[in-house]
Every structure is written in structure tokens, then in C-alpha cells.
Amino acid sequence: MPHLLRTALGTLVVAAALGVAGCTSADRDVAGPSPSPTQTGDASTEASPTTSPSPDADGAPRPFGAITPDTIRSAPNTVVFDGGLAVEQNSLAARAAERLTADGRDDAARAAELIAERPVALWLGDGHDDAALVDEITDYLVAAELQDATPVFVTYAVPDRDCGNYSAGGLAADDYSAWNQLVADTLRGHRAVVIVEPDSLGMLTRCPDLADERLPLIRQSVAAFADAGVPAYLDGGNSNWVPPREMAERLEQAGIDRARGFYTNVASFYPVDDERAYAERVSELTDDSRYVIDVSRNGQGWRGTWCNPEGAGLGQDPHVTGGSKGLDAFLWVKTPGISDGTCNGGPPAGEWWPSFAEGLVERRRE
């Protein structure tokens, strides 16, 4: 069956279930935590996207949605990220580049274009109605399937998001469960990876009273994605936040036994060596869970604050790794170039900040 037809049929199935969910959207900003130094990285490269499916050993095209609930944890990372990482054509960076070009701001436009050319995760938040949410997800699935690559999505609508900080918001608990189920149903049968609720587990250190409600919600989310055959990664904080054993306990309570694994360093700036050492310890404590690391802005290491730090630079280009130890991929989860919040002269969280984007590009890790 042609890929686009398969996508259309999947969307019709999901559309029939639209009455079950609450509202949603793309806030696309994350708050992050605390400090650390320099960086090295895995030099592995991702598979190059093509316009047709890659064949199995017998020459037949690999099907989309080949991951099952039973293989989510055990599948090779090249299957989880089949075809490499997809690039969103209508990303925040791409739209910023168009605006800046129209305004004659050539240097700022070039910085946005460089970011737009690379795979960046698509954030889904709490600002659209159900139909708009399905449209947003489906548009990216179609584009990714044309690239024969895997799109990465981020859910960001958990109740009491960010503990009321710069990215405060989120849905009510009942609405969140239905919203998350709609996301899972829309992704069912397609290649996709989900980064589940950045900071949701790390922030429990700051807001422990949320744990009784939040942990079951995250566990329910993981189950929905697992049942849909969608590999999910849970919040693993970063190397300078929650101790590995304590984070492992939270991950277990949040249902990591049914997830692909966890992620670290989302929206933060810590070097890869620190993150890998920390993540390997958490992996050992969670039955060898796999993990991914956000390298979107860690090219210059820790700069003294998590919020719009001066001197930050882009990290290495996002790519699927050689799969050594527990590491699946280096990703750009946080969108480089958007503000962390109204700190250090920045605009509100989630808005494009041209001068900050230029600085990230100028100081990028080569």
C-alpha cells in the first residue's frame, strides 16, 4: 500500500475517535535545571534519509510501525530510528528564517536556516483542539514518510507543567489522559519516537506534592504508547540534578518497564561525557534501559545558568549512534534559538530569539 494512502487511512481511523480527547498544542518550550563543564561526543552518523523505504534482507520494504509492544525495549536503535531522523519542513526555525529574510535580516535568517536544516523534535502542547492536534501530527508523519525517516515528537501538557515556572501550564488530569491517548492513536502504525514530558520527573524534587498524581499519569501515557507500538523515552533529568538511584526509582514508578528508555539533558547544557556516565548508571538501575541525550545547545558546556545563558553554542548535529552501550541517539529535543523565558534579556518562553540563535550558531561545536 502506498505510504501516503496508508497515512490517510490511519488518520481516518483516528478522526473517528476525536470525541475522546481534551484540547492540546505546541508550546515547544522546556525549562531545564542546574550546572557543569565541557564536551566530547560519539562520532557515529545517522543513516541518510531517502525517498523510498529501505529493504529488509529479503529485499522487501520495511513496513512503517514495525515496532511492537514486545520489541520496544529490545529492538536495535536502527530499527527504532528507522531511516535516521526526519526533518520538519515547517519548523519554528524555518518559519523564523522566512520572516527574517523578508525583513532583510540576513545574518539572523542564515542562523535560523542552519538550525532548520537539522532534525529537531516537534513539541505537542495544550493549545490546539483535537482536530488541529491530529493535523499537526499527521502533517509531520507524512513529511517523515516521504523522507523515509523517523520523526521525533515531544509531549508537553502534563498537569502543573514546569511547577509554575516560565513554561507553566498543562491540562487537567482527566483531559491529559484523553489527550495523550489521542496522540498515541494518531501515531499508531507509523514510525515515530516520543519524548514524554520534559522535566516531569526531575521537577518532582522541586514539587514533590505532584508525585501522587503525576507518576500514574506518566505510567498511563507509557502504556498508551507501548500498546500503539511507539517507542517512548521518559524524563531522566541530567547529570547534575537528581542522583541516579533516586531517578531510577522515579522511572520505575513512571512505567519505564514498558518504555524504550529515558532521555537526559533536555533544554540543558551539560557535556556528553558527563551525561553518558550518568545515563549509564541510571540504565544499569532500570534493567538496562536505552537512552538518548539532548545535545541541541551543549556545544560550549555549562554556562552558569539554565536560562538563556550567555556564551552557549549548538552541540553536535543530531544523529542515530552506533548503539554502543545504552545510547540510542544524540537528539536536538529543545529547539535551538527559542527563549527559555524572560531571563537574561530573553522574550517569553518558546518565542524565537534571533540574536540568541545567531550566538548559538557562531559558537557551535564543529
Catalytic residues: 162, 199, 340
- Residue 242's alpha-carbon distances to 158, 253, 339, in angstroms, are 20, 15, 24
Amino acid found at 251? L
User: Euclidean distance between the first and final Cα of the chain, in Å?
Assistant: 42
Closest CA to 235 of 254, 209, 207: 254
Cα dihedral 127, 132, 134, 137, rounded to 10, equals -70
Amino acid found at 166? Y
Cα dihedral 155, 280, 293, 287, rounded to 10, equals -30
Helix intervals (H) in 72-210: 77-80, 92-102, 106-116, 130-147, 173-187
Number of residues assigned to the chain? 366
Report residue 355 CA to chain centroid gap: 24
- Residue 199's alpha-carbon distances to 119, 187, 189, 265, in angstroms, are 21, 23, 28, 10
Sheet holding 152-155, edge to edge: 24-25, 122-128, 152-155, 193-196, 232-235, 261-264, 290-294, 327-331, 319-320
Closest CA to 164 of 199, 120, 213, 215: 199
